[in-house]
């Protein structure tokens, strides 16, 4: 070995094995010769056998013959143990626990490529097993500003490292969270804007990489922040026990009910529209085909509104079995020819996924 080269090996000692680690794991200068094959060794605390210089050098010669083409004997230049390969001009060396390389492999630079422990799984692969997820993180629901904690149970030899990641686009892309490197991750104080974020964890050790399923965070707004503000606009007709349904354009249909001044007042057949963009109520010229108190109203898949049941007089307890449709395009009501199986009022109407409407309870 050349004396001038070993002057640099004072640093090379770490660099020599480093370059080997570089060769093995992909660290170092990306402009070095053959660097496309070099993969950086992961940094982690291993729980398997740690190689010494000799088995490490032997492994490197078998794994990367283009850099270390022949079997060489160990040489000593304190504090370094090293091997020199005259065919390629590359050195690989160990000083204490440090691994480094020097030569064309590293572009002529001394490269520190890791520690002996970093190569345990490469030298002794039977000691190692890739990470697996034993228990997946689960989705969480919190009320702002409470934090949420996600946890994972993992196994692997050596024990894997953890890196939590978050996605703002429903799991399409993830970004690593700085400092989130344990088996559990607790978010900062949440807000409604955090709802829908997806979290996962990436596990890695010298034997491989695994990642968990995504877990979704749901954040409900703090109810203490809710407030009601009275509208300046007034309804065109005073009414109570009426039905209301939001239309596709954001306006609200308000129909039926009775004049609350008299609890025995007859049902109303009038309707009006509330426009939230202008904060105004506009009475409809068309009237419902049947006056109704406590009907149910639901918007259908085609944008029309189904209005069902109700009663003709408040407190009479007699339900109505008829139904009608409001068409927001024509702003007109049309009575359905069919009748409900049971007269009912003060019931619920729920639109199902197939477009049908489920009517429940009432009187």
pLDDT at 47: 47
Question: Could you give phi then psi for residue 20, rounded to 5 degrees?
Answer: -60, -45
Does 236 fall in a domain?
Answer: no
How many folded domains does the chain comprise?
Answer: 3
Looking at residue 136, which CATH number applies to its domain?
Answer: 2.60.40.10
Cα 46 to chain centroid, rounded:
30
Does 234 fall in a domain?
Answer: no
Does 98 fall in a domain?
Answer: yes
Are 298 and 209 in a shared domain? no
Q: Report which of 117, 95, 76, 86 is spatially closest to residue 12, judged by C-alpha positions.
A: 95
Are 253 and 356 in a shared domain? yes
Task: Read off the pLDDT of residues 151-161 as tens digits, 9 standing for 90 and up.
Answer: 999 999 999 99
Split the chain (363 residues) into runs of 10 and give each run's mean pLDDT: 39 40 39 35 53 94 96 94 96 94 93 90 91 97 96 95 97 97 97 96 95 97 80 90 94 91 83 94 95 94 95 77 96 95 92 94 86
Q: Is the full-model pTM beyond 0.85?
A: no
Task: Read off the pLDDT of residues 40-51 as tens digits, 9 standing for 90 and up.
Answer: 444 444 447 888
Are 192 and 261 in a shared domain? no
Are 170 and 250 in a shared domain? no
Does 330 fall in a domain?
Answer: yes
Are 352 and 318 in a shared domain? yes
Are 167 and 262 in a shared domain? no
Are 122 and 133 in a shared domain? no
Does 278 fall in a domain?
Answer: yes
Task: Read off the pLDDT of residues 278-323 as tens digits, 9 standing for 90 and up.
Answer: 999 999 999 999 999 999 999 999 999 999 999 887 666 688 999 9
Are 51 and 67 in a shared domain? yes
pLDDT at 18: 39
Does 279 fall in a domain?
Answer: yes
In which domain, by residue range, is 197 found? 129-224
95, 126, 157 — which closes off a domain? Answer: 126
Does 181 fall in a domain?
Answer: yes
Does 164 fall in a domain?
Answer: yes
Are 248 and 341 in a shared domain? yes
State the helix-helix crossing angle for 53-63 and 3-25, rounded to 10 degrees: 70
């Amino acid at each position: 070995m050349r004396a001038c080269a070993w002057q640099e090996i004072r640093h090379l000692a770490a660099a020599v094995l480093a370059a080997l680690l570089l060769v093995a794991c992909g660290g170092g200068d990306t402009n070095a010769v053959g660097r496309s094959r070099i993969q950086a060794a992961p940094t982690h605390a291993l729980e398997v056998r740690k190689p010494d210089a000799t088995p490490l050098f032997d492994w490197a010669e078998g794994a990367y013959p283009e850099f270390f083409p022949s079997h060489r004997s160990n040489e000593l230049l304190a504090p370094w143990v090293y091997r020199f390969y005259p065919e390629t001009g590359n050195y690989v060396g160990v000083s204490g626990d440090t691994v480094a390389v020097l030569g064309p492999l590293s572009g002529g630079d001394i490269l520190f490529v890791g520690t002996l422990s970093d190569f345990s799984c490469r030298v002794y692969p039977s000691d190692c097993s890739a990470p697996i997820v034993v228990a997946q993180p689960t989705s969480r629901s919190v009320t702002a500003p409470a934090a949420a904690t996600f946890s994972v149970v993992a196994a692997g030899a050596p024990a894997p490292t953890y890196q939590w990641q978050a996605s703002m686009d429903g799991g399409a892309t993830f970004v690593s969270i700085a400092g989130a490197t344990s088996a559990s991750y607790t978010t900062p104080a949440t807000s409604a804007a955090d709802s829908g974020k997806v979290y996962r964890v990436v596990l890695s050790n010298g034997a491989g990489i695994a990642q968990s399923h995504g877990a979704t965070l749901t954040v409900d707004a703090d109810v203490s922040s809710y407030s009601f503000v009275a509208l300046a606009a007034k309804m065109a007709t005073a009414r109570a026990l009426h039905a209301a349904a939001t239309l596709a354009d954001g306006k609200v249909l308000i129909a039926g009910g009775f004049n609350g001044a008299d609890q025995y007042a007859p049902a109303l057949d009038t309707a009006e529209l509330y426009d939230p963009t202008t904060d105004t109520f506009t009475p409809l010229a068309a009237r419902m085909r049947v006056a109704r108190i406590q009907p149910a109203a639901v918007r259908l898949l085609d944008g029309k509104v189904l209005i069902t049941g109700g009663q003709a007089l408040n407190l009479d307890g007699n339900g109505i079995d008829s139904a009608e449709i409001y068409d927001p395009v024509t702003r007109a009501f049309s009575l359905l020819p069919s009748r409900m199986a049971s007269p009912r009022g003060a019931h619920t109407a729920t639109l199902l996924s197939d477009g049908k409407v489920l009517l429940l309870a009432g009187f």
